[in-house]
């Protein structure tokens, strides 16, 4: 009689070894790119006070997407939905002791109470990288260059992904010329942000609901259709010049419809998009100038972005750029011929580990054919055999599990031979 298997929590993921391999690979790529630009790794707590996110994140994230609960002492806590407020709090706590400009990055778990769907879960892992204490357009360019370098590093081309850039100060300046009141501009930013996410009819209705006149709506449409608008922003002109120096301009385009929904963005904003249009934004970020001051520190400007692991993994799978990951990290499987040779096999296997080679050992004897099949199924490349003849002659036999080729050699040559073979 079949038993019911206990289900995982809705919106979470199980990381079996293959999926964990992909996550670790992504983490290593993020680390590599971050450190190549001189960024230091940090981490914050998984739990934060609910108050930290009030006025620091979008209303939707705080009120609709956060996991909020009270602890036994009555304090209202939140499973972190994003990291930037935590970063600002940590910087404010030790601001006098820190050396600016500050370059930090992190990779860890986050939670949002969303409807699970393709490319979106309630629990996810995210790379966050920020530069604080430099207000220049060149600082914005550095973060965009990091983003483009990461896309290149994981094998995505500029024809497959694009980083779309805009500047909220530039847009705000033009909205003012349309006689749109300052208190309405946040809503109009949301309207612009939804331009590519709604039908034309629904978008026009939304504009009317916000109180925009037909003339103002037309002006907004013309504004977000002006691909040369960036030339009116000294900040964007300098930023694009810096991006040219980085050699990644082919990954970056100006896009006046990119506005970002989070309220703390104040200047340049950017998002990476899959050019096939199958997925929503891969990741996004931008400049924020008020967060550290909002949590009790001295005002300091910052720019950063965040990359969730799920969308980028799906895109890498779509383009066939994600490496295959076996069930074992060991390229070498050490067989056990029979119980009398267990000590000999364990000693030789351990000598390989001491030489820096990862080894999986068979601990109970069985037919060699069965052991070879097991080694192949878990993803090992080579099987090592020490039978009675090999033990007597101080030799080992290496079997290439892909080709079936077997080679006998002295035990003293095993380490160098395996390293030459990529073991």
The pTM for the full model equals: 0.89
Q: What is the mean pLDDT of residues 187-203?
A: 89
- Sorted by where each begins, the domain ranges of the chain are 17-318, 332-421
- Integer Cα distance of 171 and 190 in angstroms: 12
Q: What φ, ψ does residue 280 adopt, rounded to 5°?
A: -75, -170
Percent share of the chain, pLDDT over 70:
97
Q: Is 332-421 a domain of CATH 3.10.20.600?
A: no
- Integer Cα distance of 338 and 363 in angstroms: 10
* Residue at token pair 């079949």: 2
What is the model's pLDDT at position 262? 64
Pick the range with the lowest mean pLDDT from 37-41, 141-145, 169-173.
Answer: 169-173
Pick the range with the lowest mean pLDDT from 190-199, 269-278, 371-380, 385-394.
Answer: 190-199
Q: Across all residues in the chain, what is the average pLDDT? A: 92
pLDDT, tens digit (0-9, with 9 covering 90-100), for 261-285: 666 788 999 999 999 888 878 999 9
Q: What is the mean pLDDT of residues 287-298?
A: 87
Task: Report yes or no: 376 and 324 within 8 Å, Cβ to Cβ.
Answer: no
Q: What is the mean pLDDT of residues 384-410?
A: 95
- Integer Cα distance of 359 and 345 in angstroms: 11
Q: What is the mean pLDDT of residues 87-100?
A: 96
> For residue 187, how many other CB atoms are within 10 A of its CB?
16
Q: Is 17-318 a domain of CATH 3.30.930.10?
A: yes
Q: What is the mean pLDDT of residues 81-106?
A: 95
Torsion-angle region of 119 (φ positive above 0: left; ψ -120 to 50: alpha; else: beta): left
- Integer Cα distance of 152 and 155 in angstroms: 5
């Amino acid at each position: 009689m079949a038993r019911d298997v206990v289900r995982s929590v809705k919106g979470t993921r199980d990381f079996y070894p293959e999926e964990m391999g992909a996550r670790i690979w992504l983490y290593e790529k993020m680390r590599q790119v971050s450190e190549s630009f001189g960024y230091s790794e940090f981490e914050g707590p998984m739990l934060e006070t609910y108050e930290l996110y009030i006025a620091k994140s979008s209303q939707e994230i705080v009120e609709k997407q956060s996991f909020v609960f009270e602890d036994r002492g009555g304090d209202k806590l939140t499973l972190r939905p994003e990291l930037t407020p935590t970063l600002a709090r940590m910087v404010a706590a030790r601001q006098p002791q820190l050396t600016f400009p500050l370059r930090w990055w992190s990779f860890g778990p986050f939670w949002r109470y969303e409807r699970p769907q393709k490319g979106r879960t309630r629990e996810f892992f995210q790379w966050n990288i920020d530069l604080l204490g430099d207000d220049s357009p060149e600082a914005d360019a550095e973060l965009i260059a990091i983003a483009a370098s990461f896309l290149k590093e994981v094998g995505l081309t500029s024809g497959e992904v694009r980083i779309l850039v805009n500047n909220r100060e530039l847009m705000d300046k033009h909205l003012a010329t349309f006689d749109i009141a300052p208190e309405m501009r946040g809503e109009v930013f949301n309207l612009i942000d939804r331009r590519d996410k709604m039908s034309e009819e629904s978008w026009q209705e939304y504009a009317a609901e916000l109180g925009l006149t037909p003339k103002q709506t037309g002006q907004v449409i013309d504004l977000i259709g002006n691909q040369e608008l960036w030339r009116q922003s000294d900040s964007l002109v300098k930023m694009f010049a810096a991006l040219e120096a980085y050699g990644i301009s082919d990954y970056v385009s100006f896009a006046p419809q990119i506005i970002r929904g989070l309220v703390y963005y104040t200047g340049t904003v950017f998002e990476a998009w899959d050019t096939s249009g199958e997925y929503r934004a891969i990741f996004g970020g931008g400049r924020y100038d008020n967060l550290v001051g909002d949590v009790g520190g001295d005002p300091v400007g910052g720019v950063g972005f965040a990359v969730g692991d799920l969308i980028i993994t799906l895109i890498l799978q779509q383009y066939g750029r994600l490496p295959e990951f076996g069930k074992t990290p060991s390229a070498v499987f050490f067989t056990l011929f029979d119980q009398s040779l267990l000590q000999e096999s364990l000693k030789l296997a351990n000598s390989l580990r001491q030489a820096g080679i990862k080894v999986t050992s068979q601990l109970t004897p069985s037919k060699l054919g069965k052991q070879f099949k097991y080694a192949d199924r878990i993803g090992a490349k080579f099987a090592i055999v020490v039978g009675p003849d090999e033990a007597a002659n101080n030799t080992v036999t290496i079997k290439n599990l892909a080709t079936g080729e077997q080679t006998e050699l002295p035990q003293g040559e095993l380490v160098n031979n395996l390293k030459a073979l990529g073991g």
